[in-house]
């Protein structure tokens, strides 16, 4: 049984940047020294709607990157899709808004000790944490290839500067408006063989993660995926965010994706029993 991320703190953090990027908003939030504690894969939980809000639950967002050199002290970057009322509110906040943030939360992507070849696969805003991860892996000497997919061009998040750490990047859209027409899962099988991939890191919608897992299962490829379940608290106290996980003996447990995840071993998840996020 995992426990909450030991580094987690509740802070008041100021928005220092908000920029539209395609169909997303890139938010830069000043979090001071906590930036040092954030690892690729961790997420944050943010209060939305202001003082007299009817939204009582925090919203979860992956930390896309942290930076410590900026003029605001430590900052983190979030890539937010304006989806429902909470994320829309967040996207509408301008510089100077003070947010109530719990950061960092959850597990991080496991980093291989050897310089192996890795494939990073992102769906929609799921690519956000992958660029920070790519840098870490690249620094470890890994060869990093990346596949990004989305329904349409505006939902592909692939910042220029993020590509430095990536050896190859291929983009897929379902409407063909950017990159290749098709799904991000199409080329995985051949890539695994061609590039001799040891680890796949994935982040995106649950059906995508599940499809990747079908490809890796039975192979030696390790699949580290960041799952997404509806979360009421983000800190392990509500039991709403569970994911069915099998242990070695095949026994099922419902683990909290906010503290035993979001990054989990894809092979251990009982995908056929997972729910659907709205």
Partner 1 sequence: MNELDFSTTIGNAWFPSPIFTASGCASSGRELAQFFPLHDIGGVVTKSVMNKARHGRPTPRMAETPSGMLNSIGLQGPGIDAFIAKDIPYLIEQKARIIVSIAGETVEEYATLARKLRSVAGISALEVNISCPNVENRGLVFACDPDASRRVIDGVRRTIGGEIPIIAKLSPDVTDLVAIAQGVVESGADALALINTVLGMVINLDTMRPHLGGTTGGLSGPAIRPIAVRAIYQVHAALPKTPILGMGGVSTGRDALEMIAAGASAVSIGTASFTNPTALISVQSELKELLRIKGFESLRGAVGFAHRPEGVVQ
Ligand X SMILES: Cc1cc2nc3c(=O)[nH]c(=O)nc-3n(C[C@H](O)[C@H](O)[C@H](O)COP(=O)(O)OP(=O)(O)OC[C@H]3O[C@@H](n4cnc5c(N)ncnc54)[C@H](O)[C@@H]3O)c2cc1C
Q: Which does 114 bind (CB under 5 to 8 A by kind): its own copies, partner 1, ligand FES, none?
A: none
The stretch among 113-121, 136-144, 166-174, 251-259 that binds partner 1 (CB under 8 A) is: 251-259
Residue among 162, 169, 156 at smallest CA distance from 126: 156
Task: Compute the CA torsion angle 210, 211, 216, 222 (nearest 10 deg).
Answer: -40
The stretch among 83-91, 152-160, 177-185, 209-217 that binds ligand X (CB under 6 A) is: 83-91
Which residues, 83 to 142, sit near partner 1 by CB under 8 A? 100, 102
- Report strand pairing: 65-67 vs 75-80: antiparallel
Residue number, 84 or 176, with CB nearest to its own copies: 84
**Which residue in 1, 6, 19, 54 binds its own copies (CB under 8 A)?**
54
Residue number, 52 or 69, with CB nearest to its own copies: 52
Alpha carbon distance 165, 158 (integer Å)? 12
Number of residues that bind ligand X (CB under 6 A): 23
Alpha carbon distance 215, 211 (integer Å)? 7
Residue number, 40 or 262, with CB nearest to ligand X: 262
**Which residue in 153, 195, 254, 267 binds partner 1 (CB under 8 A)?**
254
Alpha carbon distance 270, 193 (integer Å)? 25
Smallest separation (angstroms) from ligand X to the CB of 107: 10
DSSP, res 33: G
52 belongs to the binding site for its own copies (CB under 8 A): yes
Number of residues that bind partner 1 (CB under 8 A): 38
Alpha carbon distance 76, 27 (integer Å)? 8
Smallest separation (angstroms) from ligand X to the CB of 117: 26
**Which residue in 51, 56, 218, 250 binds partner 1 (CB under 8 A)?**
56
- Report strand pairing: 199-203 vs 222-226: parallel
53 belongs to the binding site for its own copies (CB under 8 A): yes
95 belongs to the binding site for its own copies (CB under 8 A): no
Smallest separation (angstroms) from ligand FES to the CB of 236: 5
**Which residue in 2, 50, 175, 239 binds its own copies (CB under 8 A)?**
50
Smallest separation (angstroms) from partner 1 to the CB of 59: 10
Smallest separation (angstroms) from ligand FES to the CB of 41: 15
Residue number, 197 or 258, with CB nearest to ligand FES: 258
- Report strand pairing: 143-150 vs 168-173: parallel
Query: CB neighbours (10 Å) of residue 157?
Result: 24
For 85, the 3-state DSSP assignment is helix
Tokens linked to 241: 């965010």
Which residues, 223 to 242, sit near partner 1 by CB under 8 A? 229-233, 235-242
DSSP class per residue in 95-155: TT-EEEEEEEES------SS--EEEEEEEGGGGHHHHHHHHHHHHTT-EEEEEEEESSGGG
Alpha carbon distance 89, 107 (integer Å)? 27
């Amino acid at each position: 049984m995992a426990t909450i991320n030991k580094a987690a703190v509740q802070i008041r953090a100021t928005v220092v940047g908000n920029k539209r990027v395609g169909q997303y908003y890139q938010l830069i939030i000043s979090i001071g020294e906590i930036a040092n504690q954030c690892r690729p894969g961790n997420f944050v939980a943010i209060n939305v709607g202001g003082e007299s809000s009817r939204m009582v639950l925090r919203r979860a967002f992956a930390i896309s990157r942290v930076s410590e050199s900026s003029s605001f002290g430590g900052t983190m970057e979030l890539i937010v899709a304006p989806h429902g009322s909470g994320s829309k509110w967040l996207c509408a906040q301008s510089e100077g808004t003070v947010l109530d943030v719990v950061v960092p939360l959850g597990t991080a992507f496991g980093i291989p000790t050897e310089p192996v070849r890795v494939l990073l696969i992102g769906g929609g805003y799921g690519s956000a944490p992958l660029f920070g991860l790519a840098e870490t892996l690249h620094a470890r000497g890994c060869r990093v290839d990346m596949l990004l997919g989305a329904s349409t061009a505006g939902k592909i998040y692939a910042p220029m500067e993020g590509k430095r750490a990536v050896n190859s990047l291929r983009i897929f859209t379902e409407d063909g408006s950017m990159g290749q027409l098709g799904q991000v899962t199409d080329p995985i099988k051949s890539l695994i063989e061609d590039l001799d991939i040891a680890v796949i890191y994935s982040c995106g919608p649950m059906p995508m993660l599940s499809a990747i897992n079908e490809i890796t299962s039975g192979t030696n490829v390790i699949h580290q995926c960041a799952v997404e379940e509806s979360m009421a608290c983000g800190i392990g106290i509500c039991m709403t965010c569970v994911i069915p996980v099998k242990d070695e003996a095949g026994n099922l447990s419902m683990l909290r994706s906010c503290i035993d995840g979001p990054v989990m071993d894809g092979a251990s998840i009982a995908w056929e029993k997972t729910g659907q996020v709205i």
